[in-house]
Amino acid sequence: MDEQQYTELNKLLKATKALSKSVERVVMSGMAEEGTGKMVARGYQSLHKKAAELMPDDYYITEGLLLEMAPDIDNDALLSQVRIAASQLRIYLEETLRESRREFAFATGAGEEEITDWAALDATSATKS
């Protein structure tokens, strides 16, 4: 994974976390207005589309996390689907980014510990070149 893809996936992760938190709050409050499900579903589908663009060869992203909605799905069921899908996408992106940091750290000799500062990794790799 290159720096550009890493940066884009990190942005996507932040947006996915925001959506997950919003959906969680709506579901936990039990006060979802009619139409809320469709709104958050559109948000999830947008995030999923971006994930598929960034990781086109990843079957789990392109197919496994698709949100399939029946035309007559009720608001609460749709919210539940988005809640689960967004959570799965968030977890998958977190693990993908964590793995990328570890691989980069190992490849640059920074050590096997988890690296959290991509800019610091860039500086490390520039001095080793």
Residue type at 76?
D
pLDDT above 90: residue 58: yes
As a whole number, mean pLDDT of residues 57-78 equals 92
The structure's pTM equals: 0.77
> How far are the Cα atoms of 8, 44, 59, 68, 80 from residue 11, in angstroms, in the given order?
5, 14, 21, 24, 24
CB atoms within 10 A of CB 75: 16
Total domains present in the chain = 1
Position with higher pLDDT, 119 vs 81: 81
What confidence tier does 105 reach under pLDDT thresholds 50, 70, 90?
A: low
What confidence tier does 59 reach under pLDDT thresholds 50, 70, 90?
A: very high
Contact 113, 104 (CB under 8 A): no
Position with higher pLDDT, 32 vs 37: 37
pLDDT above 50: residue 128: no
pLDDT above 50: residue 127: no
Contact 15, 33 (CB under 8 A): no
Residue 122: which domain range? 3-128
DSSP-assigned letters across all residues of 19-70: HHHHHHHHHHHT-PPTTHHHHHHHHHHHHHHHHHHH-TT-HIIIIIT-----
What confidence tier does 3 reach under pLDDT thresholds 50, 70, 90?
A: confident
- What is the rounded CA–CA span in Å between residue 1 and residue 108? 14
CB contact set of 45 (below 8 Å; sequence gap of 6+): 67
**pLDDT, averaged across the chain:** 84
Position with higher pLDDT, 27 vs 119: 27
Classify the C-alpha dihedral 12-27-81-88 as positive or negative: positive
